[in-house]
Structure 1
Amino acid sequence: MGSLRGLRLAAGNCFRLCERDASSSVRLTRNSDWKRINGFCTKPQESPKPPSQTYSHRVPLHKPTDWERKILIWAGRFKKEEEIPETISFEMLDAAKNKLRVKISYVMIALTVAGCILMVIEGKQAVKRHESLTSLNLEKKARLREEAAMKAKTE
């Protein structure tokens, strides 16, 4: 066991020495590249060639469907359907969808809070009537037994 541990330590030390030597040579390479990038190269710079094709940086447009038009109106981006242009950008549509998602989540939060309040009120009224799930279940079982007994008598 001791010899294995010594072997592992020696291998680790050797690896660290090799790693240190390799990183220093990489640093030298990176520094020389950095000098070339900054324009310290002794070669004369060639003039850049004009691009063969001209690229227009236009945003791709999308023709909205009827459902997407409704989303744009519900999100408040446009007031009327006639105001919506023939083509819109995907970014505009995504922004409208996100805004609508937020509105729907707010409605869901409000409905959840209202449901919780309603359940608390219902529970307090049930306590005033001295109703509980146990008493309701016992009444239901007694009623089912009576129906089963009546059915057995008729047969």
Structure 2
Amino acid sequence: MAGPAAAGTVVRCLDKHIFSVLRITRGTSWPISRRLCSKPQEGDAPKTSGGPSGASFKLPGHKPSNWDRKFLVWTGRFKKEEDIPETMSFEVIDAARNKMRVRMAYLMIGLTIVGCVVMVISGKQAVKRHESLTSQNLEKKARWREEAESAPAKP
């Protein structure tokens, strides 16, 4: 029966031969950045590219397209298209686009569910009329056989 001394020998052997690559990194500690995982503290100032004033980077004014104008009205950001300014921040337009994406996804989910219900109802009605794909295929093949028999033979 092997004791703790045998286990130590195995670990030392593995340490010498297999884990030699890991021994290089044993003394180093890799910096872990958790900026995206936690909320910034009061003392932590975010690094900005706005220069010495510390202003954060903002995109310049963006001119909304006709679709963007419709999205801004449909999402309720503005009452009428005339109220929309000529240039606005990209974040506002992007938020309206995202809201429309979500609404369109909900619409597609609803249409899919309605389509499934319609197909179930039409399938049940077809069963009541004794219609099935098998019977339709048999009828079609029988018609083809009759057409093939009645057609004159080609020389």
Q: Sort the TM-score into its range (normalised by shorter chain).
A: 0.5 to 0.7
Distance 2:127 2:15 in 1: 77
**1:87 to 2:87 alignment:** yes
Distance 1:6 1:127 in 2: 71
Report matched runs for 1:1-155 at 5 Å: 8-9=13-14, 11=16, 19=26, 22=27, 54=53, 57=56, 59-60=58-59, 61-152=61-152
Seen in structure 2, the aligned counterparts of structure 1 residues 152 and 80 have a Cα distance that, compared at 3 Å, is: same
Distance 1:10 1:111 in 2: 62
Structure 1 unmatched runs, 5+? 27-51
Seen in structure 2, the aligned counterparts of structure 1 residues 98 and 83 have a Cα distance that, compared at 3 Å, is: same
Distance 1:123 1:81 in 2: 46
TM-score relative to the length of structure 1:
0.64
Seen in structure 2, the aligned counterparts of structure 1 residues 10 and 149 have a Cα distance that, compared at 3 Å, is: closer
Distance 1:116 1:96 in 2: 30
Distance 1:9 1:140 in 2: 73
The residue that corresponds to 1:37 in the other structure is none
Residues 69-98 of structure 1 show CA distances to partners (whole Å, capped at 9, x for unaligned) of 122122222121101011111110110011
TM-score relative to the length of structure 2:
0.64
Q: After TM superposition, give the deviation of residue 103 of structure 1 in Å.
A: 0.6
Seen in structure 2, the aligned counterparts of structure 1 residues 59 and 153 have a Cα distance that, compared at 3 Å, is: same
Between the two proteins, what is the percent identity of the paired residues? 54
Seen in structure 2, the aligned counterparts of structure 1 residues 10 and 95 have a Cα distance that, compared at 3 Å, is: closer
Distance 1:153 1:143 in 2: 17
The count of aligned residue pairs is: 123
Structure 2 unmatched runs, 5+? 1-9, 30-50
Distance 1:7 1:79 in 2: 75
Which consecutive segments of 4 or more residues in structure 1 shift more than 4 A?
12-16, 52-58
Seen in structure 2, the aligned counterparts of structure 1 residues 110 and 9 have a Cα distance that, compared at 3 Å, is: closer
Residue type of the partner of 1:69?
Answer: R
- Higher-Rg structure is 1
In terms of fraction of residues, the more helix-rich structure is 1
Q: After TM superposition, give the deviation of residue 147 of structure 1 in Å.
A: 1.8
